[in-house]
Amino acid sequence: MKKIKLKEKFDFLYKNVESQKTDEGEKFTVSVTPKNYPIFIKLFPLKYDVVLSETGCEGYHDGKVKINIFKSEIFVAGEGGREYIYYHNYEPENDFYFFGGIRISDAKVHLKKNKSEKKYEIKKVDYLDGFKNEVLSIEYIKNVPQFQKNPKFKLVKSSGKIKNPYIEPAWNQNEDGSFSKIISLYEYCNDFSYHAEYEVNGYFFRRYNKNYQDCIEVYKTEENYKKQLEAIKERREFIDYTFERQLYRYENHFLNIRNLEYYKIYELDFFSGLQDADYEKSLKNFIEVTGHKNEVPLQNMKLLEKFYNVEIFMKKSNLKESALEEGDSFNIHQAYPSKIVYLDEKYKEIARIEFDDFGIATFKGFHKVVFTKDGEFLRLSGSTFYEYFEKVEKEMKKIGKIKEKSENKI
């Protein structure tokens, strides 16, 4: 870090620092801007193994917490990081200078220092606009910014299991008991996988993803599943869908396929339904297990808008132990998806798929694929049969124009 000149130090202290004596030590209010921030971090070192930083984390010992008051991110050397975006009325803003969403002129940093100590503790930071109006305030606990306590911030990137109790966990626990996390398109397509064994209505479910398929195998008991594995091993046969003890197999395709960026999103199908093998037997068992009175129709869906991020909601197994929130891997054991939300570049929802415990999908924000004797066509929301072609053509042209503009900018 560049050494501060003596004149710079005294100018900063004289113009930007207010102090007040207390019984324990002193309280300080410091006016900080992006321009004088390098001086501030040199003059006010923090306690609790927290470091004020401008750039990278090189050279920090494991466990050191790195923060920058002008960035909505936290990094812990050797453990992981958290990155937030700022929302206004839960809508992402476009032209923000700071926190990805708010214009900031300077910050009022409130600190305290005990008499016997040389390092400081930040209590809160107030952010001001160009008219010196307070537009945002962030609470700090032991020098860690509490973005998670402000509803205008959303955790969008998280990695690693961080030991510091004042830093938000990578997985958010929801009121319904599920755990959720936002991941990138690349992580969703290349890294996201799971395997879970759980029970519903007294039946044994095995759910896992294989390539881009979400597979749900159903057995009367776990013992039947184990016997089936033994039989396959003894016979050394290729595994197919016509297992002797398997009641049925259900599948969902929700496009976590490798190299998705090379496809046009509207050319690919989302799918949910029973497998064709021994369909009559599977359907009978399916109705018995799920309680459906008749056949659940196959669902073929399309998404017309490209997604860039995904929020996954995982539910833990009720039979096996799951260390979902403890791990730092996308290969998740003993938990399965209950909801998948597709997000645009600004983390705004495009569409979602919700799953019941049987794995049956409900699509929201998608467009249904209709099969006719002349081919397949999209049924857009709220349209009649005679409006298919006109609306589909308009949507496709719109997508083409957006893509063309994007390519011209590059």
Find out whether 251 and 215 touch, Cβ atoms under 8 Å: yes
Cβ contacts of residue 41 below 8 Å, gap of 6+?
1, 52, 53, 54
- The 10s digit of each residue's pLDDT in 286-315 is 999 998 877 777 888 988 888 999 999 999
Residue percentage of the chain with pLDDT more than 90? 52
- The 10s digit of each residue's pLDDT in 196-227 is 999 999 999 999 997 678 999 999 999 999 98
Average pLDDT of the residues in 14-36: 94
Residue 401 has pLDDT above 50, yes or no: yes
DSSP classification of residue 401: H
- The 10s digit of each residue's pLDDT in 324-350 is 887 777 889 999 999 999 999 889 999
Residue 390 has pLDDT above 60, yes or no: no
One-letter amino acid for residue 358 of the chain: F
Q: CB under 8 Å, gap of 24 or more: what pairs does 135-143 form? A: 135/102, 135/103, 135/104, 136/86, 136/99, 136/102, 136/104, 141/166, 142/48, 142/50, 142/166, 143/46, 143/47, 143/48, 143/50, 143/65, 143/67
Q: What b/e readout covers 17-49, taking b as 16+ CB neighbours within 10 angstroms?
A: beeeeeeeeeebebbbebebbebbbbbbebeee
- Distance separating alpha carbons of residues 400 and 394, to the nearest angstrom: 10
- The 10s digit of each residue's pLDDT in 114-123 is 999 999 999 9
Rounded to 5°, angle at Cα 118 from 116 and 120: 105
